[in-house]
A and B are shown apart, each in its own frame.
Chain A
Amino acid sequence: MSLKKTILTAAVLLGFAAFLNAAEPGHEAAVDGAAPHAGHVGPPVSPEAPTLFHIGPLPVTNSIVYTWIIGAVILFVIRAGTKKMKETPSGVQNVVEAAVEGLEELTKGLLEPKVAHWVFPLAATFFLFIVVSNLMGLLPGVGSIGWGHASGAPFGIEHADTPLFRPPTADANMTVAMAAIFFVMSTIWALKYNGPVGLLKHIFGVKGGMTGWIVIPLSLIFIFIGCIEVISIMIRPVALAMRLYGNIYGGESVLTLMLTNSPLGLAALPFYFLELLVAVVQALVFTLLSIAFIGTLCSHTEEEHAGAKHAH
């Protein structure tokens, strides 16, 4: 039954792609960022996600469409796993429980319990969304079905200049959006944990438990170090966003090149295995770095611990 549904879905998608290809001349004006169809020039995959249509003033890109599909898939899977939860888990419930528990343990292992409680939902969503997005980006048809210069084959195109679907993690808007959310939330949590004055002390304060006159020259050094720390804090979201975008966009580009420039696209096969690994590793890297960055802002140093104990 599910096989029939899959075949039916694939047929519908192929039919839709064919329809889009057939309607290509009229569509051309609506697509921005797409390369000219008369012979493909430029990068194998456009660095920006092309806009497919508009909802009012909002441009809807192929990555936004695929984000909706990914959201629907996530919703479907977790509803299947948690709708009728049993005391003894089995099937999809087992998978969902293992994922949630594993991510909770990961967060609790790196952060103080109070901070881990705040951070867990966001960190877990980073991982689950990125990993599902990256893996679904490897599905056949993603990046290859869309609008482009017609080839000789029926409904065929030489190159999908405007693909119908694009993994959200290969769109800088999504990676920057996630990094922005991380930045805003980490700042809020840092202020909640340390307080405004505590946060300034945490960044610019003299560390090492120094007392006496030596604190005066040291404070100048630590103010300078604090400035570097502030720059580092500001760069963190940029690094997170660009690392993920670069890896997934690069992977997409390599796969497209290998698929189009080798007999039957066989050269892409080893890269698919590599991309499977990259899909999981990049999700883990984004999540772990987010947790670690929050951990640097929401943790007490040794002397702060000692001070707190004395105060008690």
Chain B
Amino acid sequence: MGETLQQLGIQWPKLIAQVVNFAIVLFILWKFAYQPVLNMLAQRREKIAEGMANADKIKAELAATEANRRSILDKANVDATKFIEEARVAAAKVLEQETQKAIATANDIITKARQANEAELARMKTELRREVGRLVVSTTSKVTGKVLTADDQNRLAEETSRQLASN
């Protein structure tokens, strides 16, 4: 055993020196390779997991937003239809009211026109009677050659008016 160790050159000082050398290499690798690389890999794994979780979250949010958008659109469609119907009803009602108002106004105008016509007619009749009375007095005075007094003229004119009115 001792001879074999001697042949292989295994001696405590050399063995301990190599143990120390290997320990130094182990420390170097641990400090400058394993720790930073494992930390970086852990960070990267964390980021990937976070990214995937975010992607899932975004996907879910997108689906929720899409559903929300659809529901809003459906509601808007329903509301729009309702508003259009209401507007149509309101418009019909307004049309009816305005028509009635126009008819009333037209009737009013016609009534007023008729009244004005009647008044005008009456005024014209009155004037006609006066004119006819005046003509009767004038004709009578010319036919009879007699100068009529003021009383005669009044009486003839009134008589003529009365007769015309009775006709």
Chain A residues in contact with chain B, CB under 8 A? Answer: 33, 46-49, 57-61, 63-64, 67-68, 70-71, 74-75, 78-79, 81-82, 85, 87, 96-97, 100-101, 104, 120-122, 124-125, 128-129, 168, 171-174, 176-178, 180-181, 245
Contacts and interface: CB of A to CB of B under 8 A. Distances in A.
Interface in B72-91: none
A223 B36 CA distance: 46
A183 to B, nearest CB: 12
10 contacts: A64-B17, A68-B21, A71-B24, A71-B28, A79-B32, A124-B29, A168-B21, A173-B15, A178-B22, A181-B19
A222 to B, nearest CB: 30
A64 B18 contact: yes
Given A71-B24, A75-B32, A87-B47, 11 more contacts: A48-B9, A70-B25, A74-B25, A78-B33, A100-B38, A125-B25, A128-B29, A172-B8, A177-B22, A178-B22, A181-B22
Nearest to A125: B26
A96 B39 CA distance: 13
Given A49-B14, A96-B37, A178-B22, A173 B44 contact: no
A124 B34 contact: yes
A63 B14 CA distance: 10
B30 A121 contact: yes
B92 interface: no
Given A97-B40, A129-B25, A121 B9 contact: no
A125 B14 contact: no
Greatest chain B CB density within 10 A among A71, A75, A173, A180 is at A173
Contacts of B47: 87
Contacts of A85: 36-37, 40
A68 B26 CA distance: 13
A254 B152 CA distance: 179
A174 B18 contact: yes
B18 A67 contact: yes
Instruction: Please name the 6 residue pairs, one residue from A and one from B, whose CB atoms are nearest each other, closest first.
Output: A48-B9, A177-B18, A172-B8, A100-B37, A173-B14, A78-B33
B10 interface: yes
Contacts of A124: 29, 34
B13 interface: yes
Contacts of A48: 7-10
A177 B15 contact: yes
